[in-house]
Every structure is written in C-alpha cells, then in structure tokens.
Amino acid sequence: MIQNVERGLYIAASGMLTELQRQDQIANDLANASTPGYKSDRTTQKSFGDMLLENEKSGQTVGSLGMGVQIDSKVTDFTAQPIRNTDEPLDFAIEGDGFFAVQTATGTMYTRNGQFTVNPNGQLTTAKGELVLGQNGQPVTVGADGKADPKAIGNFTLTNPRKIGDNMIAGTASGQGAGNVVSGALEGSGADPAKSMVDMIASFRAFEAGQKVIQTLDETLGKASSSVGSLQ
C-alpha cells in the first residue's frame, strides 16, 4: 500500500509542477496584453506513460496506471493581429505577414512591435535604443520633419521563428515579408486577457486539486506508519 501511496504523491506533484509552469506562461501573456505586436503562447502537456498493473499471484492484467504529466511544448501564435491608428509618425505596423529587423548586442533579431523612436544620430531605433534596419540591412534614417519612410523599413519573412524575450523573435530571414509596412499605427497584442484569466483560474483549480490529493495521501501515510507494529 505504501508503495502505491508514494506513487500517488509523485503523480500529484508532477501535475502541480506542470501547472506552475503553465501559470508562468499565462501570467506573461496577461502582463503583455497591451504590448504592441506581442505574440501569445500556448503550452501543451503529455503523460510520462502508463504502467501496466498485474495481479502478483495470478499474473492477470488489472489495468494501467498513469505516471504523471509534464510540459510537452510551448507554441507561439504568430497570427497577425488587428492594427490601430495612433497618428504618431514613428509608430509602424506590418499589415500582414513579416517582421521588423533590429540590430541588438547579440546580432540581428526581429519583432512585430513597431513603437519606434529616434536617436541623436537621426536613426530609427526601438525604445531600448536598438537600430531598426532596412531591407538592405542598414539603419533607417529619420528625416528632418521627424518622419521615416515606411518603404525604407525592412520587412522580413522568418524561418523557424521563436520568442527570446523582450518581445524579440529569433529566426532565419528568408526574404521579404508579404505584408505592408504602414506608419502612424501599431499592431495589437495577441494576448486575450479574458481567455487568459479563464485559463489561469482553471490552472489554479487543477493545482489545488493536486494539493488536496497530496494532503490526503500524506494523512494515509501517517496512519499507516502509526499503526506499524501495533497489535490487536
């Protein structure tokens, strides 16, 4: 019996750890619900596999027992979101597919966040001061009127895009993106606050269920250990 209880503790604990990771992903989506060009994530789970149970005396199959779960993968939804007008001359959005190219300290990265500014050298940059690149890989120059030509801003198609943090995307550029760069507008966030809140509540409930299972099994172990060696 003790062995089965210990196995139950392990299964419940694996479920709780999985929900903690899922909650981190949901919380990140909620924190970026108003971030321009943000792309939301989805986590999928998988079982460690089932163990076949047999009767120790007869060898007859009793059934299967799950061995817990783990995060299988995290998938990013790169679907283009609706664009809203801001009338700000250095706000840009890609209408359709594609990514802006940005020169970072670790090399060229990509983003859908077109909320740009200008540095003292008259070059278009991100809010962190990273240079925005054109299709030719060179920095984009802002005119004396404080505006930049949308046609001068690069729009790239990426192979195997993946999020790396700070709303940046890593990947291999494979040509010009199919979308159009428009000025005075920003792409909305891909995070849905209402759906994320529903997912968070469901995850909390699953986590609490695991806690209750562990508490019950712990009480069972306590009773079993206290009765060891007792005589009727």
pLDDT tens digits along 42-91: 887 666 555 555 555 666 665 555 556 666 777 899 999 999 999 999 99
- For the segment 113-132, the average pLDDT, to the nearest whole number, is 96
Residue 75: what residue type? Answer: V
What pTM was computed for the model? 0.76
The residues that bridge with 183 in the sheet, in sequence order, are: 92
Kindly indicate the confidence band of residue 157, based on its pLDDT and cuts at 50, 70 and 90. very high
What percent of the chain has a predicted confidence (pLDDT) above 70?
A: 81
Q: What CA–CA distances, in Å, run from 106 to 37, 130, 138, 202?
A: 21, 11, 16, 38
Lowest-confidence range among 68-72, 126-130, 172-176?
Answer: 68-72
Is residue 117 predicted with pLDDT exceeding 80?
A: yes
Is residue 156 predicted with pLDDT exceeding 90?
A: yes
For 90, the token pair is: 């250095």
Q: What is the rounded average pLDDT for all residues in the chain?
A: 85
pLDDT on residue 183: 96
- For the segment 137-152, the average pLDDT, to the nearest whole number, is 94
The residues that bridge with 1 in the sheet, in sequence order, are: none
Q: For residue 91, give the nearest of 226, 182, 22 by alpha carbon.
A: 182
Report angle CA 159, 157, 30 to the nearest 5 degrees.
80
pLDDT on residue 57: 63
